[in-house]
Amino acid sequence: MKTKSYRRGYPVAVLIGIEENHAAIWQIYSQVAKPQQTIPVSTSRNDQKALYSFHEAIINALRPVLKEGVKNIVIASPPRSNFGQDFLDHIKGHHSWLSVGANKAAFSLIVGSASSLTNVATLTRTSAFKQIIQENAAIESADFVEILEKRLNETHNLVLFSLQEAENLILNPQAPGKLQPEYLLLTNKYLENIRQKNRLNHLMQIAARNGVKTRVIDAESNAGKRLMQLGGIVCLAKK
């Protein structure tokens, strides 16, 4: 039985389109954009309790995605509005955990609408959106390299350097107390050049489904160059 191709591509970012009366949340992959959730403002933005609940609902919708390791968050709002900035102020005031340690995420503002698939397609093609993605990806990749280098120097964690080794750990459930897969990191060059694409795509799907933080990193970035030195793919495990 052949494995279905990974047609949506790999995770790139989360796009939140905040309008006056609702927020539309999209998962942006390298090939497509997928709608995740639409969150309404219960009454009016002038109602501070309703606005607080609205912002909290967005945070709650982001939690599963952040847990998967996607930390590149782009917030789109209409021209001459403060909707995006209001949400950022809410994060700074109530969710400082999103700016430190392993939970740290990159939040960026962009002017535009993300209420419909057509809007999203138009927005994601702009040079401003592409620049934000590139800049945030560089920061995120640097964080991954820091984690990788730390793991390479630790004896109680394990770094696997091949597709076969990654499959053995990720596809076979590990008993409590045994090494558990935490990150699957690979470069876009490795993904493009591998002959067994269906095999790799299947592994990436299972890894993401099981909570393994799966990221594809630009091979030309500093992080990507380091990964290429290690073969283009690594799986980081921990107890």
115-125 pLDDT per residue, tens: 999 999 999 99
Give yes or no for a contact between 185 and 192, defined as CB atoms under 8 angstroms apart. no
Region of poorest pLDDT, from 28-32, 90-94, 106-110: 28-32
Confidence label for 153 from pLDDT (cuts 50, 70 and 90): confident
Token pair for residue 180? Answer: 């558990």
Share of the chain above pLDDT 70, in %: 95
Does 6 have pLDDT greater than 50?
A: no
- pLDDT at residue 127 in the model: 95
CATH number of the domain within which 213 lies: 3.30.1330.30
76 plus 25 within the same structural domain: yes
How high is the pLDDT of residue 156? 66
- Is 80 exceeded by the pLDDT of residue 103? no
pLDDT classification of 13: cutoffs 50, 70, 90: very high
Residue 228 located in a structural domain: yes
pLDDT at 69: 78
Q: What is the pLDDT of residue 166?
A: 95
Domain that includes residue 51, residue range: 11-125
Number of domains in the chain: 2
191 in any annotated domain: yes
Q: What is the pLDDT of residue 158?
A: 84
* Region at 9 (left for phi over 0; alpha for psi -120 to 50; beta for the rest): left
74 - beta bridge partners? 15, 108
- Interval 157-215: pLDDT, tens: 689 999 999 999 999 887 888 889 999 999 999 999 999 988 998 999 899 888 888 88
The answer on 218 and 115 residing in a single domain is no
Nearest-angstrom CA–CA distance, 130 and 124: 7
Q: Which residue has the higher pLDDT, 1 or 186?
A: 186
**Whether this model's pTM surpasses 0.85:** no
Whether 3 has a pLDDT exceeding 70, the answer reads no
The contacts of residue 89 (CB under 8 Å, 6+ apart) are none
pLDDT band at 155 (very low <50, low <70, confident <90, very high): low
In the chain, the amino acid numbered 104 is K
Q: Which of 125, 152, 187 is the last residue of a domain?
A: 125
Q: Does 101 share its domain with 174?
A: no
Q: With helix as H, strand as E and coil as C, how does the chain read? A: CCCCCCCCCCEEEEEEEECCCEEEEEEEECCCEEEEEEEECCCCCCCHHHHHHHHHHHHHHHHHHHHCCCCEEEEEECCCCCHHHHHHHHHHHHCHHHHCHHHCCEEEEEECCCCCHHHHHHHHCCHHHHHHHHHHHHHHHHHHHHHHHHHHCCCCCEEECCHHHHHHHHCCCCCCCCCEEEEEEEEHHHHHHCCCHHHHHHHHHHHHHCCCEEEEECCCCHHHHHHHHCCCEEEEEEC
Do the domain assignments include residue 172?
yes
Q: Examine residue 121 and state whether it is found in any structural domain, yes or no.
A: yes
User: Is residue 113 predicted with pLDDT exceeding 70?
Assistant: yes
